[in-house]
Structure formats: structure tokens, C-alpha cells
Amino acid sequence: MRLPRVITFWLAGAAVLLPVSACSSDEPAAGQAPQASASAAPSEEPEEVNAHPFTGKEYERLRPVLAVKIENTAAGKPQLGLKSADIVYIEQVEAGLTRLMAIFSSKLPAKVGPVRSARISDLHIAPQFGKPAFSYSGAQTKMLPFIAEASLFDVGDTRNPGAYFRQPGRFAPYNLFANTKQLLAKAPKATKAKDIGFTFGDPPAEGGVERKSYSVKWPAARFTFAWSEEKKQWLIWQDGKKDMAAEGGQLGAPTIVVQYTKTERSEFHDKNQSYTPLVHTTGKGSAIVLRDGKAYKAKWERESEDGGTTFTTPSGEPMNFAPGQVWVALASRKPVIP
């Protein structure tokens, strides 16, 4: 296991920021973000701290990794636990819809859900985390042998039924939730958080374009990320509506990565004969990184499934993320026909 990355934080005076108008409940329009004034000059020497490999934030100890497959249609909202995730992947599934895979390690919510079924793309994302605990609610019979051979500890509802419960006030299949401590208790050897290629720190000195919002589309889903100067986050809208958390407030993250991938039909399909997309997360390609109210062009590369994904600027320098939660939207320029 490689050592966790170390980043430098400057002890500086607070930046003076211009106010921005509040966003309405409707999806925000694209445009230019207000400029912020320059930060005060650093007054002390930099202090080195241990930076968590998933968030870039200081940590006391590295904990096991838990990956959870979460519903992402209107029927399953609001989701519970996403605010505590270190990384959230948006994946295309059947009929052009999307589903989430949330990665937890530095923080662990008590409960998470709605938990939904696994997809073949999950099994290709998981190995970069070593052998994480993987929570899901079933899978196609044809895919079960693939799960058994995958680099993960299966803590799904059939292997670990005691960790799951039906949430009152919701209807099936969108009412299955899980107790996270019970999930991890069934995977005592789950890999602890390690370097997966992310770097955190100051943004590139050049190349960023100020953006008020940025949208990403799948065949049957649309996400819009709108910069909030007040919260220092990209707040999330889905299909024109605020993406709210069950804990309260709108979902958002300091860094959004739009990772353009090759997406094609897999050998699997749902009961309606809609084919399951296979999202290729190894290889290389282009990306857009949103942070600090700007959009940056980037490149991504992942040489093997057990290796991490690195993001660089067009000139080859590390594309640093802002410390905090990271959302990775696995998008395709050529949508799969369900």
C-alpha cells in the first residue's frame, strides 16, 4: 500500500468574497460566476498535515472502505447518507437512467439508502480501492459469479440480511436501507483507504474558466452543478430539481469531476430487455474538473483495474481537487441506446 499523500495548507487571512444571488428551486441557468477578490498574503510558514487520500482533509487514522449502491431516481429520493460519503460516482444504468455508488471511509453515517442492485460497472470501479466492503440489494442471476470473483467483500442483503431494514414511509423497492456498522462488521478485512490517484491542493494557476453552472446529460437524466460562493460547493440539481438530502439541505461538493468514458452495451439486461451499459473506467480520456467556481479541462488515466485514476492538466501537471467530498460523473459523449 502506498503512503497517503501529504498536502500543504497555508495559514492565511480569510479571502473577501463578493456575494452571489441565491438560486431558485428551478435549475440554474448557465453563465459567468462572480469574481472573488484576491486572498490575503500568507503570513506564516506552511504546515504539513496528513491528507486523506479520498478527500485531502486531515485525518487521525485510515479506516476501511465501504461502497454502497444507491438509488437515484425521483422515487428513491431523498437519499440518506450521501452527505457523509468521501466520493460519489454517477453511473449510467438501463434505459439511460443513473444510479450512484457512494464510497465511505473517513466518515460513516449510521444508516444509508435506498440500497439498490449491483451493476457490472461497479465491479470494474471497486478494485482501485483494494478489496472494499460492497453493499447492494441483489443482482441479475447471470452476474452473481462475477460478484463472487470480484475484488470486494460481499455484504449485500442476501449475504448479510441483518444489516438491512425497510424504512417506514417509503415503498418497495425504494425502502431498503442499511446500518453501516453492521455492514463493515461482516467485512473485518476490508481494505483501508489508500492512494487512488487523487491529488488535492491549490488549483492550476491558469486554464480555469469561470462558470456559474455546468450540466451533464445522460439519455434519461440530467445533472446541473451550480457554484455557491457562500457554501464553497457546487450544489446539485437533477432533472431540474434541487437534489436534497434526507438529513436536510441540498447535496453539493467542493469538487465535481466529469469523466468522459467509453460506454457500451454489456452482456446483461434488465427484465424489460433494456441492456445494461458497461462503463469503461480504465484507459485514458478527457475530463472537466469543477472547483472554486471554475471549470478546468483535464485528462484522466487508469492503467489497470487495481490501480488508481490520475487527473492531470492538459500540460501534464497534477489536477488538484479542492479538499472535501468529490463527485465523479461517468459521462459518455455517445450515449448507449437502451
Q: Which pLDDT tens digits describe the chain residue by residue (338 residues)?
A: 444 444 443 333 333 333 333 333 456 655 544 333 344 445 455 556 689 999 999 999 999 999 999 999 999 999 999 999 999 999 999 888 999 999 999 999 999 999 999 999 999 999 999 999 999 998 888 889 999 999 999 999 999 999 999 999 999 999 999 999 999 999 999 999 999 999 999 999 888 999 999 999 999 999 999 999 999 999 999 999 999 999 999 999 999 999 999 887 876 766 666 678 888 999 999 999 999 999 999 999 999 999 999 999 999 999 999 999 999 999 986 444 33
Sign of CA dihedral 246, 250, 256, 261: positive
Domain membership flag for residue 8:
no
Prediction pTM value: 0.85
CB 323 within 8 A of CB 56: yes
Last residue of a domain, one of 157, 185, 213: 185
CB 187 within 8 A of CB 126: no
Domain membership flag for residue 43:
no
Residue 50, classed as helix, strand or coil, is strand
CA 189 to chain centre: 23
CB 187 within 8 A of CB 166: no
- At residue 143, the pLDDT reads 86
- At residue 276, the pLDDT reads 84
180 and 210 share one domain: no
213 and 313 share one domain: yes
What CATH number is associated with residue 214? 3.50.90.10
- At residue 56, the pLDDT reads 96
Question: 155: which residues sit within 8 A by CB, 6+ positions away?
Answer: 133, 134, 135, 163, 183, 184, 186, 187
109 and 137 share one domain: yes
Last residue of a domain, one of 164, 185, 206: 185
- At residue 239, the pLDDT reads 94
- The β-bridge relationship of strands 326-331 and 87-92 is parallel
210 and 288 share one domain: yes
Domain membership flag for residue 26:
no
Q: What would the DSSP string read from start to end of 8-34?
A: EE---PPPP----PPP-SBPPPP-PPP
Domain membership flag for residue 154:
yes
Domain membership flag for residue 29:
no
d(CA 115, CA 118): 9
How many domains would you assign to the chain? 2
Q: Where are the beta strands (DSSP E) in 3-114?
A: 6-9, 47-50, 66-70, 87-92, 98-104, 111-112
Domain membership flag for residue 147:
yes
Last residue of a domain, one of 185, 212, 244: 185
- At residue 44, the pLDDT reads 55
277 and 166 share one domain: no
d(CA 191, CA 277): 27
Domain that holds residue 203: 196-331
C-alpha cell at 335: 450515449
118 and 164 share one domain: yes
CA dihedral 36, 202, 54, 111 (to 10 degrees): -20
Q: Where are the beta strands (DSSP E) in 127-184?
A: 133-135, 153-154, 164-166, 176-179
CB 330 within 8 A of CB 261: yes
CA distances from 123 to 83, 133, 134, 251, 304 (A): 23, 12, 10, 26, 13
CA 93 to chain centre: 16
Question: In this structure, what DSSP letter does residue 132 have?
Answer: -
Domain membership flag for residue 50:
no
Domain membership flag for residue 55:
no
Sign of CA dihedral 30, 291, 68, 269: positive
C-alpha cell at 290: 469543477
Question: 218: which residues sit within 8 A by CB, 6+ positions away?
Answer: 92, 96, 97, 98, 331, 332, 335
User: Among candidates 281, 322, 68, 302, which has minimal Cα distance to 196?
Assistant: 302
